[in-house]
Amino acid sequence: MNELRVFCPATIANVACGFDVLGLCLDHIGDEMVVRKTDNGKLSISRIEGQDLPFEADNNVAGVAAKALLEALGSEQGFDIEIYKKIKPGSGIGSSAASSAGAVFAVNKLLGEPFSLQELIPFAMEGEKLASGALHADNVAPALLGGFSLVRSYDPLDVIKLHSPSQLYASIIHPQIEVKTADARSVLKQSVPLKKAITQWGNVGGLVSGLYTEDYDLIGRSLHDVIVEPLRSLLIPRFNQVKQAAAKAGALGSGISGSGPSIFALSKGEQTAKKVAEAMGQVYSDSGVDFDLHVSRISHKGIHPIISNTP
Amino acid sequence: MNELRVFCPATIANVACGFDVLGLCLDHIGDEMVVRKTDNGKLSISRIEGQDLPFEADNNVAGVAAKALLEALGSEQGFDIEIYKKIKPGSGIGSSAASSAGAVFAVNKLLGEPFSLQELIPFAMEGEKLASGALHADNVAPALLGGFSLVRSYDPLDVIKLHSPSQLYASIIHPQIEVKTADARSVLKQSVPLKKAITQWGNVGGLVSGLYTEDYDLIGRSLHDVIVEPLRSLLIPRFNQVKQAAAKAGALGSGISGSGPSIFALSKGEQTAKKVAEAMGQVYSDSGVDFDLHVSRISHKGIHPIISNTP
């Protein structure tokens, strides 16, 4: 096998209560990437469609992630990457993670899978570091593993794939505004009240329990972020109205996707998720803010090969 | 049915990472209580063995909890309670919770079970309030429900019974020292670093996941408390040595039981738990501190009726 086309899914990090530890994988929302072996011993990016991103491998998250993998192996195999971006950078649904994770997945596959999916996470994190300055795994882990994932610990890295109920759907609205990562970070406080931290880890426990027992109501009751959302939501116009609209339309719960500005809601069943998306969209329709809407099952499989044909 | 004898199990609250939210139920370590209907319309406590505790119903956690239940029902049925204490008050393994929960369980049963076990929790919490000044549920919930329980939220009260793996055993050492509740509280800080809070809720997620998947190794990796244990353990002599001894003997993890001074360790299998208890005991044997040792399966059932015969 000398060439592979892969689907690189979008992901939702944090998932309300699980700031910095939880993430989930979307189904058909994502990029495509073609990776092929070359004879020149170099890592090149020959084509990028859909977004204006750097072609130099050292300045592109896919290039950096792939290089980290090749260096770990001591491999001198050359690769060329084509990237077909559909996820908008800065949307908060894991655009850089899709590219980072997609590159390491495809390169690993073409090399005969020297690494497991779990082992690929640290290489993909190098791409995230280029994108945001931080080695975070809450998007690349669900992108690689599929479903829900929990980053229990970074030192040592310990990522757990959680059970994901089959009727769980996400509705996502991406308002076309820019939230700078620096702003999303600067609003965070370095210390939090113990009482709120207890509330938060009670909800993390409730959410994880709800996922395993497929208790949708418990999942809904647990989808509360009392620490980060009250601060970051101030950067997203009409956030509370979107939340209220989602709840009224039957969503289990909602929150900020990653560091925003996208807002996600989880629902039981596709029909409800569609109604919820519509209700969320209505809030911005009334305001004149442009937006994208997505509805997706939580995907059990992460990045995966697709039949090769031109996109 | 006019009389009921119940077994009131000891419990471990917090369980390392789950400060204020997690608790588990022990198997054969606990008190007994006999509750019988009377004709005088009063709530009395006629016998207390094993400990020196108040006989006035309003000053006894069992009396206060039972009264809360009777008042909620508007019942004028009289009851007499006999308490056979085996759990030492101040040990940190839920002595007041055993009595509070035992009383409401027995009274409810004798009245034809107007309340579910879940619904009994708030009444039992009134006993906890008398004992500690705070309405906490992390001992009474596992005492009533058995197994592991998660107090996801207090407002509204939302308690979830988690799955509990069958090979999970607890080893507990109770050093005969006094840790005043006021001291155990005063060492806590009202705010915590966000980074540590994230570590803690990552571990709560990992522990809950490990319980459902019966992944003993994951349970062990998640049994870390980076927030409360570093402060409260200073009040318990040789705490770190006990932890190290438990780990060396094969425990999955360990921590402070409730607010101490008891220290618990969890292990896979009874044999390992026994070795762990022995190793923990050795630390205090060498120091001259008196101690009690317990080894117990995590009990799937909480408080339950036992065949009536004098203790």
Residues of A in contact with B226 (CB under 8 A): none
Which residue of chain A has the CA closest to B189?
A194
User: Which residues of B fall within a CB distance of 8 Å from A19?
Assistant: 198, 201
Q: Residue B134 has what pLDDT?
A: 86
pLDDT digits (tens, 9 = 90+) for A265-301: 999 999 999 999 999 999 999 888 899 999 999 999 9
Give pLDDT tens digits for B38-54. Answer: 999 999 999 999 999 99
Query: What per-residue confidence (pLDDT) applies to B178?
Result: 85
- Listing DSSP states for B240-285 in one string gives HHHHHHHHHTT-SEEEESTTSS-EEEEEESHHHHHHHHHHHHHHHH
Percent of chain A having pLDDT more than 70?
99
Task: Quote the percentage of chain B above a pLDDT of 90.
Answer: 92
Cβ distance of B197 and A200 shorter than 8 Å? yes
pLDDT for res A230: 97
Task: Report CB contact under 8 Å: A150, B212.
Answer: no
Look at residue A77 and tell me whether its pLDDT is greater than 70. Answer: yes
* CA distance to partner chain A, nearest, from residue B41 (Å): 41
Residues 208-237 of A with CB under 8 A from B: 208-209, 212-213, 218, 221-222, 227
pLDDT at A310: 47
Where do the domains of chain A lie, and which CATH numbers do they carry? Answer: 3-162+299-305 (3.30.230.10), 168-297 (3.30.70.890)
Task: Report yes or no: B185 at the A interface, CB cutoff 8 Å.
Answer: no
Which of B190, B208, B221, B222 to probe the A interface (max A CBs under 10 A)? B208
Q: Does A152 touch chain B (CB under 8 A)?
A: yes
CB atoms within 10 A of CB A216: 18
Q: A72 in contact with B at a CB cutoff of 8 Å?
A: no
DSSP single-letter state for residue B148: E
In chain A, residues with a C-beta closer than 8 Å to the C-beta of B14 are none
CA nearest to B300, candidates B2, B17, B19, B28: B28
Helices (H), chain A: 61-73, 95-110, 117-132, 140-145, 181-186, 194-213, 216-222, 229-232, 239-248, 270-285
Does position B279 have pLDDT exceeding 70, yes or no?
A: yes
Record: contact A205-B158, CB cut-off 8 A: no
Amino acid at B57: A
Give me the mean pLDDT over the A171-181 stretch: 90
Looking at residue B180, the DSSP 8-state letter turns out to be: -
What pLDDT digit, counting tens, does each position of B232-266 carry? 999 999 999 999 999 999 999 999 999 999 999 99
- Mean pLDDT computed over every residue of chain A: 95
pLDDT in tens, A197-244: 999 999 999 999 999 999 999 999 999 999 999 999 999 999 999 999
CA B33 vs CA B2, B30, B222, B283: distances in Å: 14, 10, 36, 34
Q: A166 in contact with B at a CB cutoff of 8 Å?
A: no
Look at residue A308 in the predicted model and tell me its pLDDT: 54
pLDDT-above-70 percentage for chain B: 99
Q: Is A214 a catalytic residue?
A: no
Average pLDDT over residues B84-110: 96
Read off the pLDDT of residues B139-173 as tens digits, 9 standing for 90 and up: 999 999 999 999 999 999 999 999 999 999 999 99
Whole-number pLDDT of residue A311 = 44
CB A162 within 8 A of CB A207: no
Share of chain A above pLDDT 90, in %: 92
Chain-chain contact of A192 with B194 (C-beta, under 8 angstroms): yes
**Are B201 and A199 within 8 A, CB to CB?**
no
Which chain A residue has the Cα nearest residue B162? A209
Q: Has residue B308 got a pLDDT over 70?
A: no
Helix axes A95-110, A117-132, angle to 10 degrees: 140
Across all residues in chain B, what is the average pLDDT?
A: 95
Q: Contact A100/A139 with Cβ under 8 angstroms?
A: no
Tens digits of residue pLDDT in B186-208: 899 999 999 999 999 999 999 99
Q: What is the mean pLDDT of residues A253-270?
A: 97
B232 to chain A nearest CA, in Å?
15
A132 interface with B at CB cutoff 8 Å: no
What pLDDT was estimated at residue B179? 83
Indicate whether A17 pLDDT > 50. Answer: yes
What confidence score (pLDDT) does residue B180 get? 78
- Tens of pLDDT, residue by residue over A31-67, are 999 999 999 999 999 999 999 999 999 999 999 999 9
